[in-house]
């Protein structure tokens, strides 16, 4: 059996599912959670922008259109830091498998597209432990657009309207998401993402994830 080495100093495992909005992250996160629980391992889930301290502040600032590129970056970093300190790291210390719906890679993509220097953003998140495994659901923009329209609709910030690419929601979404995908394509190699074609059937994607996670579990790292 191939030896597995953690990428941080905690007893648990840190597994991330990354991708743009509409790529199917939440669905796969729930399926993976059930798979791991069925193996009798403790699982903790944390989603993007869910800090009890900061999430409502971000929503209010968005509603009032108060965010510029820097405050956007800093508020999301504060949300991440609060969840990391109060949820993620305690769970890792206790030996849990922590599943994350997006990690700071999302901030890297979005902040750089909004004009921030990538080294500045990387330094902003340099306190974050490295994930043991990062899945990336790779989706073309045209499919994302159809999914978003059919579910949540086009959001002002998720369409990049605040960046000023276009006054048209559809054009802005395409331009913004394409630029985010450029960043993800760079990060896939830079951070060693396990890239999966997000257009594959849900069960097929889930099977790919299960196999990768099972390899780690079979190594006995949590025994």
Q: Which domains, and CATH codes, for the chain? A: 13-140+194-218 (3.40.50.300)
Secondary structure element (H or E) that encloses residue 141, with its range: helix 141-150
Measured at the CA of 110, the angle between CA 109 and CA 113, to 5 degrees, comes to 85
Average pLDDT rounded to a whole number, residues 180-204: 96
Element (H, E) at 97: strand 97-101
What are 88-133's pLDDT values in tens digits?
999 999 999 999 999 999 999 999 999 999 999 999 999 999 999 9
- Identify the pLDDT of residue 157: 83
C-alpha distances (whole Å) from 117 to each of 71, 107, 188, 195 are 14, 12, 19, 25
- Angle formed by the axes of helices 169-190 and 104-113, to 10°? 130
Which two structure tokens, joined as six digits, stand for 190?
């830079």
pLDDT-derived band at 2 (thresholds 50, 70, 90) equals low
Q: Indicate the pairing of strand 43-47 with strand 97-101.
A: parallel
**Closest Cα partner for 190 from 127, 139, 119, 120?**
119
pTM: 0.93
CA–CA separation, 121 and 39 (whole Å)? 37
pLDDT tens sequence across 49-64: 999 999 999 999 998 9
């Amino acid at each position: 059996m191939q030896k597995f080495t953690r990428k941080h100093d905690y007893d648990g495992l840190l597994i991330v599912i990354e991708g743009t909005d509409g790529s199917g992250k939440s669905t796969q996160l729930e399926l993976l959670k059930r798979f791991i629980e069925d193996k009798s391992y403790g699982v903790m889930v944390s989603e993007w922008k869910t800090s009890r301290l900061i999430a409502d502040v971000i929503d209010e600032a968005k509603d009032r259109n108060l965010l510029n590129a820097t405050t956007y970056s800093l508020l999301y970093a504060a949300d991440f830091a609060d969840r990391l300190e109060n949820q993620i790291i305690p769970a890792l210390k206790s030996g849990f498998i922590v599943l994350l719906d997006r990690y700071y890679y999302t901030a890297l993509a979005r902040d750089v597209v909004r004009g921030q220097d990538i080294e500045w953003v990387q330094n902003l998140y340099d306190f974050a432990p490295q994930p043991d495994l990062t899945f990336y659901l790779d989706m073309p923009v045209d499919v994302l657009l159809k999914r978003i329209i059919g579910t949540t609709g086009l959001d002002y910030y998720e369409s990049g309207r605040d960046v000023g690419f276009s006054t048209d929601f559809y054009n802005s979404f395409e331009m913004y998401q394409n630029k985010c995908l450029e960043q993800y394509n760079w990060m896939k190699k830079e951070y060693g993402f396990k890239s999966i074609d997000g257009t594959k059937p849900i069960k097929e994607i889930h099977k790919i994830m299960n196999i990768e996670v099972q390899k780690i579990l079979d190594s006995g790292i949590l025994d």
